[in-house]
Amino acid sequence: MASTAQTRLSSVGTLAANGRTTLRTRGGSGRAHDKLWRNALSDRTQAAPVHHPPVRPQWLALRREAALEPELPIIDAHHHLWEREEDPYLLDDFLADVGSGGGHNVRASVFIECRTSYRTDGDPLLRPLGETAFVAATGARADASPEVRCRVAAGIVGYADLRAGAAIRAVLEAQIEAGAGRFRGIRNSSVWHPDPAARGSIAVPPPGLLLDPAFREGFACLAPLGLSFDAWMYHTQLAELRDLADAFPETTIVLNHVGGAIGIGPYAGRRAHVFAEWSAAIRELARYPNVHVKLGGLGMRLFGFGFHERSEPPSSEQLAEAWRPYVETCVAAFGPARCMFESNFPVDKASCGYTELWNAFKRITAGWAPDERAALFHDTAARIYRLGTAAG
């Protein structure tokens, strides 16, 4: 990255210290175990306790900022839509967030799998196609409305259990068809920590997922089909992603949520220590050119900022101050052309409003070169997810 970006790291201060993560290995799980896990995965994941704080509309209404630089083109590189009975987040909800505060110029968005609308019967490997079909139909409905300027779910990152090995290729081909021209990749969350208090995700994968030989056999099917891989893990697992990226240099990998620097449980009150370990791992991961990173997800309880516990929502200035070291470290390591901003809504909506979130990102990058900002807010996501959306 340009030397000007390196100077931005001055705000990191004492957090920028050396650290290192350790690659954890495990014994082979065996095909029988993999089959049992594959059959139970959907039920186990959906039954897992939700660790995300609830969204509180009345609380969010206590702060309403106007959108800064409303003309700046944006692609929201990571959001969800779901049909959960207790807290649905559907097209109208997302569009209301996009239009709040006068509206940021969100040109398009990328949907990321969240285990919604699965088929309820049939082959378990094919049940996730229900989610893809639901999101593709939602995007088509948005496109058909002359009042909607955002190409909602222009890209879809779905789910397929890659531990099925080479047999998963047929499932991937079916996902591409179900996506009706929108399907771009797969996410298999690998977030795992031995201490339950450190876990900040509803996903419950087994340890060492990215190292599993059966998983890698399935992973090898992605690149030939032109599909990318979204990776979601904690900072203590980033060495596993380095190993995967090294083994599959032809596969585009997108690290979610700046690599999940844990700030809860045994890591609470140890931000400087965690930052040192995380930032060292990020710099090492950046050596692999097929890896990219999403800048966001920092509103999750996982990061330990506790904004959701305050009496009123944070301002964009407060968000920018807290998030700046993580954004600057990633951009300095990967360069703007390999970084993209994300909202992670509605998960991050528990901590802040949509307008305030994007205002914070704009404040963090204020004064940066126009081409750097264009990449971070729009161009990297457009290229990686092949959205064909012009920023001009």
Residues spanned by the domain of 192: 3-384
pLDDT classification of 102: cutoffs 50, 70, 90: confident
- Rounded to the nearest 10°, the torsion over CA 267, 269, 272, 277 is 0
In a domain, 390, yes or no: no
Q: What does 332-366 look like in DSSP terms, one character per residue?
A: HHH-GGGEEE---BTGGGGTS-HHHHHHHHHHHTT
Tell me what percent of the residues of the chain surpass a pLDDT of 70.
86
Quick check: 284 pLDDT over 50? yes
In a domain, 266, yes or no: yes
- H helices of 144-293, in order, are 168-178, 213-219, 238-247, 271-285
pLDDT classification of 101: cutoffs 50, 70, 90: confident
In a domain, 278, yes or no: yes
* pTM exceeding 0.85: yes
Q: What is the mean pLDDT of the chain?
A: 89
Quick check: 1 pLDDT over 80? no
State the pLDDT at residue 35. 42
In a domain, 84, yes or no: yes
In a domain, 392, yes or no: no
In a domain, 192, yes or no: yes
The CATH number assigned to the domain holding 62 equals 3.20.20.140
State the pLDDT at residue 118. 97
Number of domain units in the chain: 1
In a domain, 210, yes or no: yes
Model pLDDT for residues 4-21, shown as the tens digit of each residue: 444 444 444 434 333 333
State the pLDDT at residue 387. 97
Sheet strands (E) in the chain: 73-79, 105-112, 151-158, 183-187, 228-231, 253-255, 291-295, 339-341
In a domain, 389, yes or no: no
